[in-house]
A and B are shown apart, each in its own frame.
Chain A
Amino acid sequence: MNHDKDPLLSVRNLKVYFHGRDDTARAVDGVSYDVGKGETVCLVGESGCGKTVSALAILGLVPDPPGEIVSGDILFKGRNILRLKEVELQHIRGNQIAMVFQEPLTSLNPVFTIGNQIEEAIQVHEDLESKELRDRCIRLLKDVGIASPEQRLKDYPHQLSGGQRQRVMIAMALACNPDLIIADEPTTALDVTVQAQILNLLRTIQQKAGMSILYITHDLGVVANIADQVYVMYSGLIAEKGNTEQIFSQPRHPYTRGLLASLPGRSSRGKRLHSIPGSVPNPSHKPGGCPFHPRCASAVETCQSVLPDMCDYGKGHLSRCPVIYDLERQEKSREKRGD
């Protein structure tokens, strides 16, 4: 894991709005995150928090209209890719940044063979002879753990299982040795045993190739398993950021705490599950101030009107809750005085 000064990908204060008939949905409302070389960064959040939209913005896949990138920068290898023209973006897509989507069923074109689709992914960026091309495809399929790859090349997507299709998607993403893979809930639609296989596969590939992964999910278990850095998103904003140890053992945002506490498991058997009351705000009608305040047990007056900045706890742990920050500071100073 490299802690380079310059991260591979840097999203800075991104804002993406969707314009509807009478209102505007502020899907991404000022989001910043970094992905370093060889790092696995997880964007965690529930539906509607804007995590997928921010990822689509990286690759310029936000439909415009009705979407609009209102402000912000996305720096990839130092260049601001939001400023790039479509032609230049195509050079990056698939080649340097690749994406794996959630639904393996619909992500593959049903009327072309697997071989055709992988070959196409390569041919767009590189010029290879057909034998070289075929060999590369077979090697890719082997790398992602598909048995008898030579036969599989001629298969159509519907002849493969869900897990195999997702492996093919990963193979296509790897085809041109990208620096960054963006995976949008790649295992949500799969069985848990297959999910374990895919997660292990991603870890293996990452170790071998040293590439970065931006992993979008809502499953905190997966996050604990694979993430180096975690960004918790809520209603278009980053609520908390830290490494897995910090987030899981010392969560410092009421939303993160609420999420972790409401996970059912064997340990909570017999006890009433903690649940966060209310539901996610409508992106078109967000409450003023901190978007979480209507559901927050720790909210105070100012939370209703002032959108807080991130509070720094050191060692890269940030949280957007000044209430908890102040409380901890008071605790610390009380302890100091007490000693």
Chain B
Amino acid sequence: MTSAENILERPETPRRTRLQELWLLFKENRLAILGLVIFVLFFSTAVVGVILTSGEDPVFDPALIRLQEKLLPPLARPNLETLAHGEAPRLGVYLFGTDDLGRDVFSRMLQGAWVSLTVGFVAVGISVLVGIFMGGIAGYFGQSHIKNDQVIITVIMFAGVVLLGLGKEMAGVVLLLVGHASIVLLLVSKRIFRKRTPPKWLKMLHRNAISLDTIIMRLVDIMLCFPSFFLILTVVALLPASMYNIMIVIGLTSWMGTTRFVRAEFLSLREQDFVAAAKALGIGNFRIIFRHMMPNAIAPVLVSATIGIATAILTEAGLSFLGFGVPPPHATWGNILSDGKRFIFDAPWLTWIPGTAILIVVLCFNLFGEGLKDAMNPKLREK
């Protein structure tokens, strides 16, 4: 039919995916490449490190206490006469020295790398997941309101559960029954009053109370009011100490930035024609949010995620430094810093070795994130 007027031309233009173009732009930023290289090194160190330092008889033992060898500077030779068999360091020297319990700092650093990596990624992973969910809902459903009746029923049910939890079974069960009954009544009344006009009090119940956007954004505001480090500190102090708790807590207290980014992107994406086209095709809301709109909103999230990893690592180090981090004898870089603070003049390597490591890793993530942001920017401008 229209074959003469058709067909994809430009066979000469090299077929480049967006990823390839992104890479080309990224490559030109020397510092960003440096960040990437350091990241790769860090990642491999951490993975290798955890393998080499775990198990019954690890290659590098971070927990082996040799009081006779305590506080040796880096590159010090072990005093082989005082050591039992198998207690000597694998490499022949104490590469990073020993701490106040004679533990090999190098092994501890290897073990700690893994903690930093995991905490960084998992915490950020959680925060990103929560963030895009909240941001997507807030941005897309913006003006959808929760009605008065829904609020009342939610409050009743919630109160019922709380009472149950507090042990007041009778009151709790009564409230829950009331809640369920109200739901049934509501549905019935909706059917009855389809054709006729409902009475005034029923209309009041159906009125808008508050919009989803408002709920979520005010929640964000509330969370932002808390100084995050102290919030984390408090929660961690109340919970049993474990690496997983720390990761979850950091993740659940840092989703707010992502939410705002995603919501902002969604507000502008919502007006784009392709979203209207998807709605016109009859595609469901959640598919539109997560399959159609989210890939377009992800760019700023990626950038803030990489920088968020740096922040998470710093937070974990801080927590460990204060003694609220991963419990001993498991080593983390913050732990080593903490142990070293008492010997800062006698054994300064206990401070500046983990300190430098943290610095380098955080720097690398920052550079990488900035590089990503710069590489993505001209693309965003491209039509």
Contacting residues, chain B, for A279 (C-beta < 8 A) = 9
Contact A278 B5 (CB under 8 A): yes
Contact A282 B13 (CB under 8 A): yes
Contacting residues, chain A, for B57 (C-beta < 8 A) = none
- Give the interface size class of chain B: under 10
Contact of B271 with A by CB under 8 A: no
Within B338-380, the residues touching A (CB, 8 Å) are none
Partner of A278, one of B9, B12, B14, B24: B9
Within B1-38, the residues touching A (CB, 8 Å) are 4-5, 9-10, 12-14, 24
Contact A277 B10 (CB under 8 A): no
Within B195-244, the residues touching A (CB, 8 Å) are none
In the bound complex, CA of A62 to CA of B350 (Å): 59
In the bound complex, CA of A277 to CA of B10 (Å): 15
Can you list, as one digit per residue, whether each of A282-303 has a CB less than 8 Å from chain B (1) or not (0)?
1001000000000000000000
Least CB distance, A130 to chain B, in whole angstroms = 41
Contact of A275 with B by CB under 8 A: yes
Contact A285 B5 (CB under 8 A): no
In the bound complex, CA of A285 to CA of B10 (Å): 8
Contacting residues, chain B, for A278 (C-beta < 8 A) = 5, 9
Q: How many residue pairs, one in A and one in B, have C-beta atoms under 8 Å apart?
A: 14
Contacting residues, chain A, for B13 (C-beta < 8 A) = 282, 285
Within A259-293, the residues touching B (CB, 8 Å) are 275, 277-279, 282, 285
Contact A282 B10 (CB under 8 A): yes
Least CB distance, A175 to chain B, in whole angstroms = 32
Contacting residues, chain B, for A22 (C-beta < 8 A) = 14
Contact B5 A277 (CB under 8 A): yes
In the bound complex, CA of A9 to CA of B259 (Å): 57
In the bound complex, CA of A279 to CA of B10 (Å): 10
In the bound complex, CA of A35 to CA of B5 (Å): 36
Partner of B12, one of A21, A275, A277, A285: A285
Contacting residues, chain A, for B9 (C-beta < 8 A) = 278-279
In the bound complex, CA of A282 to CA of B5 (Å): 17
Contact A275 B10 (CB under 8 A): no
In the bound complex, CA of A275 to CA of B24 (Å): 39
Least CB distance, B379 to chain A, in whole angstroms = 13
In the bound complex, CA of A156 to CA of B179 (Å): 57
Closest to B24 in A: A21
Within A1-57, the residues touching B (CB, 8 Å) are 21-22
Within B63-86, the residues touching A (CB, 8 Å) are none
Least CB distance, A260 to chain B, in whole angstroms = 18
In the bound complex, CA of A277 to CA of B9 (Å): 12
Least CB distance, A129 to chain B, in whole angstroms = 44
In the bound complex, CA of A163 to CA of B314 (Å): 56
Contacting residues, chain A, for B10 (C-beta < 8 A) = 282, 285
Closest to A294 in B: B9
Using a CB–CB cutoff of 8 Å, the interface residues on chain B facing chain A are 4-5, 9-10, 12-14, 24
What 6 A-B pairs have minimum CB-CB distances, sorted nearest first? A277-B5, A285-B12, A277-B4, A282-B10, A275-B5, A285-B10
A-B contact pairs, 13 of them (CB 8 A): A21-B24, A22-B14, A275-B5, A277-B4, A277-B5, A278-B5, A278-B9, A279-B9, A282-B10, A282-B12, A282-B13, A285-B10, A285-B13
